[in-house]
Structure 1
């Protein structure tokens, strides 16, 4: 069992998209997955409600925003029956975020390819390191490039990548590429495999990226927990 938290203090960093895409692919690969929607916007919970209303059913467990006092019990309860629990964290630092981090085996920090996003990702790293110090154990994390260019890297993204490398911050080997399919899964309350390639452009590439991303996350967990 692994608990993966996804967080960034900046809105629009791609946190919820990353959670949805990762849960989608883990489910597709037969991994029993649960998602705790701890974001005040409750986008994943709304996605699940949209599916239920359409009679599609929800393919993996989605728990709408638990209270601060319920967070640890919710994580532990889901961990007993699921292989991976994903937590879509709220943006701001809070006791709820702290409790989720304390139970996490891995934290994913999505960031857009901009200097502002890179700085805020560094703030998220500092929060994780503070929590690690308080717990007396290391909390593994990976920065994840969000809305990654499907074409060539820009000069700005190259500078950011260089700065991250110089700082020694671990980055997931695969980023989340900007794809229409990732917007459509929310709009249509769909899974990637349910989208129509005649209505969603670049769907096969999106599916390839999503699969590579899920594999990279599993590999990062294997690296951190060799046993």
Structure 2
């Protein structure tokens, strides 16, 4: 089993989108997945409610807003029962975030490709490194580009990517491309594979991007395990 936390203090960084499409594709690949929705906005919980109201089966379990004191026990129980546990963390630094990070085999830090967002992503990395000092072990992480352009990289994006590489910070080789399908899975309470291409544009490309993301995350877990 593996525990993956998705963390960033910046709202709108694509944290929940990344958690949802990753869970979706890991299930598609035959893994059993549990999601912990620790974000106060409860977007994944609301998505699950839409599915329940429509009578659709859940592809993975969703545990909503666990109490801070129960976080470690919740993670341990779900990790014992599933191949993957994905935690959509709240945006602010807290004891709950701390407890999730120290139990994680990989932390994903999504960021929008702007100088301000890149700085906030760096702050999220600093929080991870503080936890590393506290528990005296490495907590593997990857930065993940959000709202990636499907066509080309902007000059700003190239500068930010270059700065990240020069700083020696690990980044997932594939980002979350801006796709209508990623918005529609929440609006309609659907999985990517359930979207109607006649109502949502670019579904095959969104699935291709999501598959690539999931594979990159699995590869990162394997790489860190070998170290």
- TM-score by length of structure 2 reads 0.99
Runs of 4+ in 1 over 6 A off after TM superposition: none
Partner of 1:28: 28
| Equivalent-residue separation in structure 2 for 1:60 and 1:78 (angstroms) | 11
| Equivalent-residue separation in structure 2 for 1:71 and 1:177 (angstroms) | 31
| Equivalent-residue separation in structure 2 for 1:102 and 1:158 (angstroms) | 32
Partner of 2:193: 193
**How far does the alpha carbon of each residue in 1:55-110 deviate from its partner, in whole angstroms, 9 at most, with x for none?**
00211011001010110010000011100000000000000000000100000000
| Equivalent-residue separation in structure 1 for 2:119 and 2:155 (angstroms) | 17
**Further displaced range: 88-97 or 52-61:** 52-61
Partner of 2:204: 204
Partner of 1:100: 100
| Structure 1: stretches of 5+ with no match in the other structure | none
Partner of 1:220: 220
| Equivalent-residue separation in structure 1 for 2:213 and 2:102 (angstroms) | 24
Paired positions, count: 227
| Equivalent-residue separation in structure 2 for 1:161 and 1:125 (angstroms) | 15
1:66 matched to 2:66? The reply is yes
- TM-score by length of structure 1 reads 0.99
Tell me the secondary structure at the aligned position of residue 132 of structure 2.
helix
Partner of 1:91: 91
Q: What's the Cα RMSD here?
A: 0.7
Tell me the secondary structure at the aligned position of residue 176 of structure 1.
coil
| Equivalent-residue separation in structure 2 for 1:99 and 1:110 (angstroms) | 20
**How far does the alpha carbon of each residue in 1:127-172 deviate from its partner, in whole angstroms, 9 at most, with x for none?**
0000000000000000000110111111100110011011000000
